[in-house]
Amino acid sequence: MDSESRRRFIQQTAAWSAASLFAGSLSQALARDSQKKLGWALCGLGSLSTNQIAPALQKTQFARLAGIVTDTPEKAKKWQAQYNIPAKNCYTYATMEQMARNKDIDVVYIVTPNALHLEQTQRAAKAGKHVYCEKPMETSVERAQQMIDACKAADRKLGVAYRCRFEPNNLECIRIAREKELGAVKVVEASFGFTIGDPSQWRLKRALSGGGALMDVGIYALQATRYITGEEPLTVSAVETKTDPVKFAEVDETIAWTSKFPSGAVASCSTSFNAADTGRYRARADKGWFGLEPAFMYSGIKGRRSDGKDIAFPQIDQFAAEIDDFSRCILENKSSIVSGEEGLRDIKILMAIYESARTGKTLNLAG
Amino acid sequence: MDSESRRRFIQQTAAWSAASLFAGSLSQALARDSQKKLGWALCGLGSLSTNQIAPALQKTQFARLAGIVTDTPEKAKKWQAQYNIPAKNCYTYATMEQMARNKDIDVVYIVTPNALHLEQTQRAAKAGKHVYCEKPMETSVERAQQMIDACKAADRKLGVAYRCRFEPNNLECIRIAREKELGAVKVVEASFGFTIGDPSQWRLKRALSGGGALMDVGIYALQATRYITGEEPLTVSAVETKTDPVKFAEVDETIAWTSKFPSGAVASCSTSFNAADTGRYRARADKGWFGLEPAFMYSGIKGRRSDGKDIAFPQIDQFAAEIDDFSRCILENKSSIVSGEEGLRDIKILMAIYESARTGKTLNLAG
């Protein structure tokens, strides 16, 4: 990394903490006193919580793993021991409203199948807890809106776990786009997919997932088109195909879509549960191009520019970064860039993509 | 290049000449006798003819540069001297039908603005010459069909200059796809574009070009989706934007489109006259991915596969390869893989992409 890159990296990764670390704010004081870290409870102890989020919560500056919500007693026991979680901070999905009396827990991070997010958000909010929720936010516009309403009614914050928004290489691409360093972006090509395994998993069951590849990983490509252009799409136009109607009986297998944006940029995107894909994007501007491949993984994110420069900022723990960011938003009573409203925007567009694929019509999203 | 790659390269680049070189055919005999090379006349002496095609015709095995058609006397003079072309083999657009009496010329290669292709094809065919024509074939389905009709009526062959169809790295991608070496292709992402310069050039004038980025370079992305899937698209769905309505007053600036194919593969494509683009494609199959970047340039074509292997066959002169292939088709009375019918297929799809962008509807192409 040359000195210019180092300077940018420091700017970017420090940006979120700059206010608190250097401006004498509340969180600066809190940062000095680890007892004052916000208590996070993980709701849903699947592989993402186990392998990514719980380890990340060991590195966070403004958050600590304080509680768990699971219906599996063996998991509860294991996690209590591993993370030194007192029994009183362990809940089931049915008992989580009792958190209201538990001052150890400030935030519930919902890491369950998509269709459970609304009810769990409502319970957490009712218990007076802030809510951080995995993406996609929910399975319909109405349900996502109800999550926002529930948190608003309880005067609690709601955030959606878009970790790429805190990842330095993605931030660098956003900077290149905003500063028009290679000109105005005219085309964003983005994709994410993978060949899904176990046919019995919840991601393939509509009642739990609300949709397939598009909901699960296409959302990364959609987000990329929005954060690179810095705009909301005016239209979506989509096609959908299915080559394995048994495995993908309930959800979408492969979808490709295009959008246009107010600046005149277009997006060209695809997603699949039945194709190997590194997950990548390429922005094409009038003076050059730039992009990442892989763009959305937990690590190894890197990219290139048309002028021959690499985009190669050091990897960070994206989960730790997003958790610290949301904690700071709570501590400083700031709004999150990955708010419920932001999550809802994606849900609206995802639903429009499905509708366009179904009707064969370009959908206008404006207004 | 490892021995396996070398073997494939030899197979591929030799494939076209195998029949003639090893099977004792007519062209084998001709190859021995340089006097018997087919005589090609270049119609239109712009930069492509000057910098690519004429030099290529110095390397061809079955073709030689025998004549020219130009309305610019200075060019005629320069080319006569440079390539030792007798004055009797130099024509203007108005006099090219007089080629009928000229036995030096067997083929006319039309390298002029798109909207001139039909008339020049008709004249060449009427003069009893075979026709090879730059892509896109013409500016409408009707005019492309008339080119086919004219050559058919004159019992002459018609070919369209899709040089990538003879390029070893593109051929390797076709092989990987056909042999399903990385599984069945589910997604093809393809793009080509550039930031166009001189605003007075014919490519920006509808009367000469018939369209903008899509006609000029989007056609490469479209071709790639067809030769990688080995199928014809069932649908197209497109969006178009314009950020410079002065420069692009008459033609399309930026278009993105999607298609679905009979196998269930989808294509996600884009093209622009106002964005920097290496021109690339990536095919995503169920066991891995592969693709080229750059994919469509005159040289430097290379690619990658998900298994870490490079696609790095040696560069060839693509113009020499396509000219030799068409010459062989004439010598052996075989049909060309880049026939007029093949060119017409693209024109039909290009027109459907424009119509979809205009109407906001997914167009069905089947039947």
The 10s digit of each residue's pLDDT in B267-298 is 999 999 999 999 999 999 999 999 999 999 99
Shortest distance, CA B360 to any CA of chain A (angstroms): 5
Q: B309: distance to nearest CA of chain A, Å?
A: 15
This complex has an ipTM of 0.91
Helix (H) or strand (E) holding B118: helix B117-126
Q: How many Å apart are CA A38 and CA A23, to the nearest integer?
A: 20
Nearest-CA distance A109 → chain B (Å): 33
Res A21 pLDDT > 50 = no
Contact list in B for residue A255 (CB cut-off 8 A) is 266
Q: Mean of the pLDDT values across residues B174-181?
A: 98
Q: How confident is residue A11, by pLDDT bands cut at 50, 70 and 90?
A: low
Ramachandran quadrant class, A355 (left: phi over 0; alpha: psi -120 to 50; beta: rest): alpha
Residues 342-361 (B) with a CB less than 8 A from some CB of A: 360-361
**pLDDT over 80 at B176, yes or no:** yes
d(CA A176, CA A229) in angstroms, rounded, equals 11
Q: Per the structure block, which two tokens stand in for B283?
A: 């095919």
- In the block, which residue shows the tokens 């199928």? B231
pLDDT, residue B34, reads 47
pLDDT band at residue B366 using 50, 70 and 90 as cut-offs: confident
How far is the CA of B328 from the CAs of A256, A266, B26, B78, B101, in angstroms? 40, 43, 9, 29, 23
* Contact B82/A at CB under 8 A: no
According to DSSP, the β-strands at A289-292 and A254-260 are: unpaired
pTM to 2 decimal places: 0.92
Contact B276 A306 (CB under 8 A): yes
For B296, counting Cβ atoms within 10 Å of its Cβ (0-12 exposed, 13-18 middle, 19+ buried), the class is: buried
Residues from chain B contacting residue A275 (CB–CB below 8 Å): 186-187, 284-286, 289
Q: With cut-offs at 50, 70 and 90, classify the pLDDT of residue A36.
A: confident
pLDDT greater than 80 at residue A269: yes
pLDDT digits (tens, 9 = 90+) for B100-126: 999 999 999 999 999 999 999 999 999
* Cβ within 8 Å of A, B 177-196: 182-184, 186-187, 189, 191, 193, 195
> Under an 8 A CB cutoff, do A256 and B267 touch?
yes
Residue B22 pLDDT greater than 50, yes or no: no
Please check whether residue A241 touches B, CB under 8 A: yes
Mean pLDDT (chain A) is 93
Q: Are strands A130-133 and A254-260 parallel, antiparallel or unpaired?
A: unpaired
Give every CB contact of residue B249 below 8 A, 6+ residues apart in sequence. none
pLDDT for res A181: 98
Complete DSSP assignment for B319-332: HHHHHHHHHHHHHT
Tell me which chain B residues have a C-beta less than 8 angstroms from the C-beta of A241: 186, 260-261, 264-266
A29-33, A269-273, B356-360: least confident range: A29-33
**Quick one: pLDDT band at residue B21, thresholds 50, 70, 90?**
very low
Question: How confident is the model at residue A22, as a pLDDT?
Answer: 36
pLDDT attached to residue A17: 41
Contact B287/A at CB under 8 A: yes
| Nearest-CA distance B352 → chain A (Å) | 14
Q: How far is CA A292 from CA A171, B22, B310, in A?
A: 11, 47, 19
**Record: contact B254-A264, CB cut-off 8 A:** yes
Query: What pLDDT digit, counting tens, does each position of B47-75 carry?
Result: 999 999 999 999 999 999 999 999 999 99
Q: Which residue segments constitute the domains of chain B, with CATH numbers given?
A: 3-163 (3.40.50.720), 168-313+338-364 (3.30.360.10)
Give the one of B275, B286, B287 whose C-beta lies nearest to A186's C-beta: B275
Residue among B183, B234, B206, B348 nearest A241 (CA): B234
Catalytic residue annotation of B:
135, 220
Q: What is the mean pLDDT of residues B314-339?
A: 98
Average pLDDT over residues B239-268: 98
DSSP state of B306: T
Helix ranges (H only) for chain A are 3-22, 26-32, 47-48, 54-56, 73-83, 117-126, 141-153, 168-178, 206-209, 213, 219-229, 318-331, 340-359
Is B365 part of the contact surface with chain A (CB cutoff 8 Å)? no
Given the residues A220, A227, A281, A354, the one annotated as active site: A220
State percent of chain A over pLDDT 70.
90
